[in-house]
Structure 1
Amino acid sequence: MPRSSPLERPDCKAISKAIQFKPDDHEAWHNRGVALNELGRDEEAIASYDKAIQFKPDKHEAWYNRGNALFNLGRYEEAIASYDKAIQFKPDYHEAWNNRGNALKGIGRYEEAIASFDQALQFKPDYHVAWNNRGIALDDLGRYDDLGRYEEAIASYDKAIQFKPDYHEAWNNRGNALLSLGRYEEAIASFDQALQCKPDKHEAWYNRGVALGNLGRYEEAIASYDKAIQFKPGCHGTWNNRGNALKGIGRYEEAIASFDKAIQFKPDYHYPWYGKAVCYVKQGQVDKAIDHLRQAIKLNSQARDWAKTDSAFAPIRQDPRFQALIQEP
């Protein structure tokens, strides 16, 4: 039997019938858009919201959901314009202010995004989602601006957690902000809280591994990466970091195997090629070390800069092949 279209589901059929009998039924057009949104058919959803707005221009829900569909398509500027219309007709629409902030964040306008989240919180002070998103925007500013924004981000995540103590996303994000400040023990405690709320959160296991690695606690880091891999086996970054931890305790064969897994999942990822080169130097396999370093540099010239000052390459530094690799092209 041919499979029926998603819009032939009973609820969708009822909506289509309502539109057929009353083509200017703005509620029906809006509901059709919502149904299409749920099916991931965002372009069609936008067309339905446009019809709803045509018949009722001040329908704030349609402007809001239209913004969400545009956001899903990565059309952030248009999404912002839609959220602005929703807010024009319902100024205290905290969800619209929040999602507007996310769209602004998506195009790197972080200060404006924070202001938008602040508006959402003015209307709903216990809106944990907005506190979390505000923290993410502050995190982004910390990367591009100054470290002081990480402290503000942590304060925002604390507010999110205050209103939703089992909010694993906020615990994980809080840990990342602490990680960026070099407060590794506190970061681990935050990741542990995230994992208490959601034991299969692979990002938290990964980030916990990073923090442990930075403390030189490589065995524990490996155990954390193993848990991350258990829940997301194809994550190339986790396999790479696991390789680095194994390299850190001299388990070079296992490290190479881990780097190989990273390369299997992302062949153009220069980090594991570089990591393997270091392992081969440690094992005295100079030819393999040169070959892998060459490939790392080919994939990303950043590897050349690392090799110039990396003491791991001291045993082969005078090798003409190594010297040729580290020269600027």
Structure 2
Amino acid sequence: MLSNVSPTVSEAWYNRGNALRNLGRTQEAIASYDQALKFKPDGHEAWYNRGIALGKLGRNQEAIASYDQALKIKPDYHLAWYNRGNALDDLGRFEEAIASYDQALKFKPDKHEAWYGKACCYALQGNIEQALENLQKAINLSPDEWREWAKTDSDFDGIREDERFQALIQ
């Protein structure tokens, strides 16, 4: 009988977690996602949203572990790959971040945020060519957004004076 109840109970905990996260009550949201996962351990969205909440608290290593759990269940979950890349980027693990962004792009090639994330990682590594190439792709997909972001994003400070970078953000 419990198996008939579990999805509903899991869903209630999951929805509670989302509501708490939206209210900025992040720690409580994580606890709710944990409860949802007790009833439905294969809930990829609960793992994913748990990762988002952990990331908001700066607990990037734990966030990565949550994204990894979501990806074990749903390997083509581009949002989990993308946010995993962000957490790795925040930890300065640029090669791993780029690999995660690449996975997100494998499943959603027009994920302009992932192209931008890759550009940032490459810029922080001093790889100007790859930074510019990926920034160009992000700008092609969402010109107003990424051109403006790149103008002030400190990730590009190392290449800011490059003429090609200047041309891209004009």
TM-score normalised by L of structure 2: 0.85
Pair 1:100–1:219, CA change in 2 (3 A): closer
| Equivalent position to 2:136, from 173, 189, 192 | 192
Supply the distance in 1 between the matched residues of 2:62 and 2:168 (Cα, whole angstroms).
37
| Equivalent position to 2:75, from 107, 112, 125 | 125
Supply the distance in 1 between the matched residues of 2:157 and 2:7 (Cα, whole angstroms).
55
Corresponding residue for residue 106 of structure 1: 56
Supply the distance in 2 between the matched residues of 1:78 and 1:118 (Cα, whole angstroms).
21
| Equivalent position to 2:111, from 161, 167, 174 | 167
Supply the distance in 2 between the matched residues of 1:116 and 1:157 (Cα, whole angstroms).
16
| Equivalent position to 1:134, from 66, 70, 84 | 84
Corresponding residue for residue 207 of structure 1: 150
Unaligned runs of 5+ in 1: 1-55, 143-148, 227-329
Conserved? CA contact 1:212–1:218, under 8 Å: no
Superposition RMSD in Å: 2.4
Supply the distance in 2 between the matched residues of 1:69 and 1:161 (Cα, whole angstroms).
29
**Cα distance, 1:164 vs. partner?**
0.5
**Cα distance, 1:128 vs. partner?**
0.3
Provide the identity percentage.
Answer: 55
Conserved? CA contact 1:184–1:215, under 8 Å: no
Letter in 1 for 2:96: E
Larger displacement relative to structure 2 (87-96 or 60-69)? 60-69
Question: What is the aligned length?
Answer: 163
TM-score normalised by L of structure 1: 0.46
Supply the distance in 2 between the matched residues of 1:172 and 1:111 (Cα, whole angstroms).
22
Corresponding residue for residue 19 of structure 2: 69
Supply the distance in 2 between the matched residues of 1:126 and 1:117 (Cα, whole angstroms).
12
Conserved? CA contact 1:184–1:212, under 8 Å: no
Conserved? CA contact 2:136–2:168, under 8 Å: no
| Equivalent position to 1:216, from 161, 167, 170 | 161
**Cα distance, 1:67 vs. partner?**
1.0
**Cα distance, 1:215 vs. partner?**
5.9
